[in-house]
């Protein structure tokens, strides 16, 4: 901007800032749904006398419904009002989870909780697409968006530690879904509360990667890239779900301290999303993504090493940093690879693939841990992450060869 360029007026900035704040607050509320079950799962198992496999099956069913519904919601978000769509999604998810928490019999508990995944699926595809269609698809915008989800989960973990003994699993589910109910009412009833962006009317575009917008090439590279994302998620999600168990049983850490391990990962995630989101604007998103996903390769095996107990939280911060650092660049890269296709549909596929990976990874980790031990299973998490990084290198090489 030169001295002769007019400065934007304050009134023109306020709606965009308000939209960004609402979008990020909605992201935090929606992410609470995704992690609402793991903290209370031990209490559900105890009340109904379930085996670990049944508890894992509940999470898997919830995430599978969320994954399949994400693809449908992504397509809907390209043709309907996204603000109303996510508002209704919030209210539906909250109503279903509250109903499940009130049910006295297990089949009804499971049915309503799993049904809630349909409402949970509405937010991410619509929100990512709205950022793109608003012309705010820079790394720093996506970075702040991802950080809001990590912050919400840190707050939830702290609240869970303070309240779960007093209110039980039913009260914790009700409390965890309450922010979503409030956000749903805000998006539906408050004048001027908008998610941002209009489907099909893109305010600004980033210069596309060479060859990425050719329909067949873009579709193929998008599919390959999503496979790489799924492989990375397979290793990281498996580790996240079992870290408290690993720290208690293999490291002999106090259960109360081990329960905060996930919080350290989310703390690193806040920094990773913000810092590397800005790095994606400066260095380019493909380079940033390759760097961030590559950092996970030496970090993950460290969790399986023998070291002082106080060192493990620090490693979790580093893993959380590298994991969340991938998200802003990942979103920007997929946006360009998909070319002119509806962004809601594209991000619906991404969220569906992510949710399916999250559903499968704990089961695979548990099977490996039963067969070879917890330490071996933790170290083995690096295998799919490395495979995903190699897939990313293939995409990068393909893009570079077409740019010449």
CATH number at residue 62: 1.20.1250.20
Give me the number of domains the chain comprises.
1
Residue 123 within a domain: yes
pLDDT in tens, 349-374: 888 888 889 888 878 888 888 888 88
Assess if residue 297 is contained within a domain. yes
**Residue 102 in domain:** yes
pLDDT of residue 197: 62
Per-run averaged pLDDT (10 residues), the chain, 404 residues: 43 67 91 83 83 77 90 89 94 96 93 95 91 76 87 79 77 92 94 72 45 54 91 91 80 72 85 92 89 94 89 92 92 78 79 87 84 90 96 89 64
Cα distances (Å, whole numbers) of residue 75 to 121, 129, 316, 387: 12, 11, 36, 30
Q: Is residue 110 part of a domain?
A: yes
pLDDT for residue 5: 44
Domain membership of residue 10 (yes or no) is no
**Residue pLDDT, tens place only, 149-207:** 888 888 877 776 677 667 888 998 999 999 999 999 999 999 888 887 666 554 444 44
Range of the domain at 281: 15-403
User: How far, CA to CA in Å, does 375 sit from each of 143, 165, 306, 313, 381?
Assistant: 32, 30, 10, 17, 10
Residue 6: how many CB atoms within 10 A of its CB? 6
Q: Is residue 66 part of a domain?
A: yes
In a domain, 304, yes or no: yes
Question: Is 169 a domain residue?
Answer: yes
Q: Write down the pLDDT at residue 10.
A: 43
Burial 168-204 (b: 16+ CB within 10 A, else e): bbbebbbbbbebbbebbebbeeeeebbbbbebeebee
Q: Name the maximum alpha-carbon separation found in the chain.
A: 72
CA dist., res. 75 & res. 88, Å (int): 16
Torsion of CA 376, 264, 316, 283, to 10 degrees: 140
**Beta-carbon-side half-sphere exposure of residue 198 (alpha carbons within 13 Å):** 3
Residue 322 CB partners (closer than 8 Å, separation 6+): 268, 272, 292, 293, 295, 296, 299
Instruction: Say whether 48 sits in a helix, a strand or coil.
Output: helix
Q: How far apart are CA 66 and CA 73, in angstroms?
A: 10
């Amino acid at each position: 901007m030169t001295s002769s360029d007019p400065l934007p007026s304050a009134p023109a900035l306020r709606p965009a800032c308000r939209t960004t704040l609402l979008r990020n607050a909605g992201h935090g509320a929606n992410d609470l749904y995704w992690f609402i079950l793991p903290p209370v799962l031990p209490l559900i198992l105890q009340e109904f006398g379930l085996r670990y496999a049944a508890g894992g099956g509940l999470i898997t069913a919830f995430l599978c419904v969320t994954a399949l519904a994400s693809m449908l919601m992504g397509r809907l978000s390209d043709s309907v009002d996204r603000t109303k769509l996510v508002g209704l999604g919030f209210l539906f998810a909250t109503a279903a989870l509250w109903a499940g928490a009130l049910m006295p019999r297990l089949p009804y508990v499971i049915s309503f909780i799993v049904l809630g995944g349909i409402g949970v699926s509405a937010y991410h595809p619509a929100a990512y697409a709205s950022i793109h269609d608003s012309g705010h698809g820079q790394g720093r915008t996506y970075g702040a968006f991802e950080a809001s989800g990590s912050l919400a989960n840190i707050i939830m973990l702290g609240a869970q530690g303070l309240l779960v003994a007093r209110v039980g699993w039913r009260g914790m589910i009700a409390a965890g879904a309450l922010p979503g109910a409030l956000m749903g009412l805000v998006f539906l009833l408050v004048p001027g509360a908008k998610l941002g962006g209009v489907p099909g009317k893109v305010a600004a575009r980033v210069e596309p990667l060479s060859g990425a917008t050719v329909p067949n090439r873009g579709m193929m590279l998008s599919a390959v890239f999503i496979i790489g994302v799924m492989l990375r998620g397979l290793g990281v999600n498996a580790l996240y779900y079992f870290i408290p168990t690993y720290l208690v049983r293999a490291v002999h850490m106090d259960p109360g301290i081990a329960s905060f391990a996930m919080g350290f990962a989310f703390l690193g995630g806040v920094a990773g999303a913000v810092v590397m989101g800005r790095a994606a604007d400066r260095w380019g998103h493909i380079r940033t993504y390759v760097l961030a996903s590559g950092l996970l390769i030496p970090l993950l095996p460290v969790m399986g090493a023998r070291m002082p107990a106080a060192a493990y939280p620090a490693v979790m911060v580093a893993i959380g940093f590298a994991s969340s650092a991938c998200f802003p660049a990942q979103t920007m890269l997929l946006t360009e690879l998909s070319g002119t296709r509806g962004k809601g549909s594209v991000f619906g596929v991404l969220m569906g693939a992510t949710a399916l990976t999250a559903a499968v990874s704990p089961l695979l980790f548990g099977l490996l841990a039963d067969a070879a031990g917890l330490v071996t299973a933790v170290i083995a998490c690096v295998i799919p992450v490395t495979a995903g990084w190699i897939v990313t290198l293939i995409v990068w090489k393909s893009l570079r060869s077409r740019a010449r």
